Amino acid sequence: MELSVFDLSKYLGVVPETIERWVRQGKLPVSQKGVNYRFHTSELQKWAGKHNIYLNLSDKRKPEKGRESIIPLSCAVENGGINFDVQGNDVKSVLEASIKRISKIPDDFKQDLLDRLVKREQALSTGIGNGIAIPHPREQLRYLHDSIVSISFLVNPVDYKALDSKPVSILFFILCPALKIHLHLLSALSFCLRNNKFQGFLNSRPDPDQLIEKIEILQKTNPI
Amino acid sequence: MFIIKNRYITIYHRLFHLDDRLLLIVAGSIAGICSGLAAVALRLSLESVLEWLHPLRHYWWAFTLPAIGALLSSLYLEKITREGAGHGVPEVIYSVSRYGGLLRFRSSYSRLISSFLTIGSGGSAGPEAPVVMSGSAIGSNIAKFLGLNDRQRITLVGCGTAGAIASIFNAPIAGLVFSIEVLLGEWKFVNIIPIAIAAVAGAQVSQAIIPEQVLFIHQPFDIMFADIPASLGLAILTALVSVLFTKSLRQVGNLAKKNSLPLWGRAIIGGSCVGLIGISMPLVLGEGYHFIQSMISETFSMGIFLTFVAIFAKIFATAMTLGWGGSGGIFAPCLLIGSLTGIVFHKTLLLFFPSVGCASQGAYALLGMTGLISGVMQAPLTGIFLIVEITGGYEAILPLILVSSISSTMSQYLEPASFYFKELMERGQFMRPGTDARILSDLSLKELIDINYVKVSENMVFRDFINILKRSEQNLFPVIEDETRVYKGVIQISVIRKYALDPDMYDMVFLNQIMDTEVITVSLEDDLQDVLDMMDSHNMDNIPVVENERFIGMIAKTKILDLYRRELIVQTDIK
């Protein structure tokens, strides 16, 4: 196989000017001189081995990792589902009642998840104000296949020790198999919740379809 | 001893402190004399043991003699001195490049004894590598006694080597060239003078003790015009034989390592093989100086076919001796194989062109020797100067240079690493002065590590972290567990930047949720070369160092470059 100066510069991580200088100084084995230099891969491998240079000719650059696994918030909400009229009078009972209704969580793990969520709330409340809380565990949940965001509308507002001390009536559960997606969803959610119109819309207890549609429109305006 | 040392310290401060060149010359000549004595001692004892064993050669069980010798030699090296078998030259080269030429005192006599047992009993090996090992160990220990630094010690190791080679061949320039070309690998002015003086001292010692027995008697040769094209052909032949020799040495050695026989079993098998070949072809036994001399002085009487077979017999016998537990070098076998090759070529030449006017058979034996030494050791200058000194004149210099350069170039093409360097290269220990590998091996991670890193707890809230971030210039924050202080991961500012600019996130996230746990870590013992490879293959600019699950510090590429450049300046810019 033959390579051009440009290809080789990519593999070696230097600019084409450097390659040209090396050829001029006789430091690189070149198979065709003239206007366009050409390099034989077998000769290059030999040269790299001799000079102890890391040269991987099989792939140009590793693909940016993690990009493909990030899903938009609206899909995560679709995965998690929206539950109305969740019963309960304190933090623990509303969390328990909500978890029961999230179908994506295997039954065996529900108690464990509840413990984790309660522990997280004890460490620092996830109530972010305006009657909204974002309960989530601190660890990644490896048993989940997809990241889910589940919304619970409570019957009775609950004292959640939120930042603004207002009782909480809407819960956004963020449950992810990996921490990177968790951050992404958290950031996307906080962007939506910053929007005052969206807050009002939420308080009107909208249809699930309408809600997801609204989130979809909102996340398109998110610069990140 | 103590008084001498005190005296020395006084003299050192009065006299040598001004200029260490004077010190190196004095110490180098002492090293040359000592190693010259060692070489002469080995040569004389080999000669006497050969004479002593000569009557026994006629018995049917004579073939077991090399086996007994190899057995004793391998047991001696393994059980008493605890040093690996082999010829020792790669060990000296490695020590020069890695440990400033530090060698153990027992190396100065262990190889002499083991190779005396091997060669004296008839094993096919040369006494030169053992005397090189012992000479360099003598030089190294003189340097240790005088309390010299690495650079000066390396020079003295070179002095010991040069003295030993000069003494055994009575060839001072060959000693100097071998020492610098093969062992030290750099032609520096500060090295050359002490080594030259040591070489002369070594040669003088051997002349003083055995004046009438010069190893090879000087022979004048008349080189004709027809010898020039003929030497081209000889060069190609010697290159092929060199590669064959190098390859079979390694193959047979690997074969010995693969089987599960105990060490003494291997030595007995190897020695018996050599002994059996020796019954029909006594030429392969021992170091063979006697036969080389007869070939040079044209009293050698074997036919063309037998000589041709003898080349392979000698190659095989040497490989069996050295690969299967015996101890000795390849210098003398190279000379013998080279002269056999030269004679075969000369005889073939006369067979096809009976009337051609070319030099004598002895001249071709010498040319063949040059070709083999240049090819096997890939040290063309050593080959040229050794033969020039043996012949005692420059009449043959033109064909010598031709054969030597063509043979070494061609064998380098076929077998890129010389016999001495191949082992080191395979182990990644081949580090010539001023090369990248050498500089990387000299720099340790301890010198490069930056330990001034603020560590953060994995239970810290993002908001607190942002406050630390505001006052810090760090781009990476190691995350540790609260009580155990175990390393958990790294926060990379470049990755979390978008979240750091979003105040809504500040109270929602703990640090264990934003840290990167998949970052590759290294430990302090890792080689810098490996660390750099890891950084290259993972596209990292910084790599955390973790020892026993504790975060120690960071290695940054910028810091490596900084120190690398300084190291390069220091290593290459000595006057």
Smallest CA–CA separation between B505 and chain A, in Å? 7
Give me the residues of A, 192-211, that contact B with CB < 8 A: 193-194
pLDDT, position B575:
47
Asked if B375 and B418 touch (Cβ cutoff 8 Å), the reply is no
CATH class, domain A69-220, is alpha beta
Is A24 touching B (CB cutoff 8 A)? no
Place of tokens 């430091």: A27
Query: How many CB atoms neighbour CB B168 within 10 A?
Result: 32
Cα separation of B180 and B165, whole Å?
Answer: 12
pLDDT, position B178:
92
Asked if B47 and B120 touch (Cβ cutoff 8 Å), the reply is no
Place of tokens 């079979």: B248
Core vs surface per residue B493-529: b (16+ CB within 10 A) or e: eebbeebbebebbbbbbbbbbbbeeebebbeeebebe
Regions of chain B with pLDDT less than 50: 575
Place of tokens 């979390």: B496
Which chain B residues are Cβ-neighbours of A190 within 8 angstroms? Answer: 502, 504-505, 508
pLDDT, position A140:
78
Which residues lie across from B547 on neighbouring strands?
B550
Smallest CA–CA separation between B482 and chain A, in Å? 15
Cα separation of A68 and A49, whole Å?
Answer: 35
pLDDT digits (tens, 9 = 90+) for B108-120: 888 888 888 888 8
Q: Which of B337, B356, B117, B360 lies closest to B244, judged by CA?
A: B337
pLDDT, position B451:
86
Give me the residues of B, 412-451, that contact A with CB < 8 A: 416, 436-437
Q: Share the mean pLDDT of chain B.
A: 84
ipTM of the modeled complex: 0.72
Extents of the domains making up chain A: 2-59, 69-220
Q: Share the mean pLDDT of chain A.
A: 81
Non-local (6+) Cβ contacts of B557 within 8 A are B535, B541, B542
- Angle CA B561–B563–B564, to nearest 5: 60
Non-local (6+) Cβ contacts of B290 within 8 A are none
- pTM > 0.90: yes or no: no
B509·A52 Cβ contact <8 A: no
Query: 3-state DSSP call for residue B15?
Result: helix
Cα separation of B522 and B50, whole Å?
Answer: 57
Which chain B residues are Cβ-neighbours of A54 within 8 angstroms? Answer: 533, 536-537
Asked if B410 and B238 touch (Cβ cutoff 8 Å), the reply is no
Q: Is the pLDDT of residue A60 over 60?
A: no
Which residues lie across from B544 on neighbouring strands?
B554
B505·A194 Cβ contact <8 A: no
Burial of residue B107 (number of CB atoms within 10 Å: 0-12, 13-18, 19+): buried
CATH architecture of A2-59: Orthogonal Bundle (1.10)
B512·A138 Cβ contact <8 A: yes
In this structure, the strands spanning B550-556 and B542-547 are: antiparallel
* DSSP letters for B389-408: HHHTSSTTHHHHHHHHHHHH
Smallest CA–CA separation between B330 and chain A, in Å? 26
Tokens of B515: 């840290």
pLDDT, position B12:
67
Place of tokens 């395979």: B426
A138·B514 Cβ contact <8 A: no
- Is the Cα dihedral B177, B181, B183, B189 positive or negative? positive
Measure CB to CB from residue B505 to each of A51, A163, A187 and give the nearest one: A187
φ/ψ (deg, to 5) at B197: -65, -40
pLDDT, position B176:
94
B507·A128 Cβ contact <8 A: yes
pLDDT, position B500:
81
Widest distance between CA atoms in chain B = 102
Measure CB to CB from residue A190 to each of B416, B459, B504 and give the nearest one: B504
B504·A138 Cβ contact <8 A: no
Q: Is the pLDDT of residue A181 over 50?
A: yes
pLDDT, position B141:
92
Which chain A residues are Cβ-neighbours of B512 within 8 angstroms? Answer: 138
Catalogue the active-site residues of A: 136
Q: Is the pLDDT of residue A61 over 80?
A: no
pLDDT, position B213:
58
Tokens of B194: 């002490």
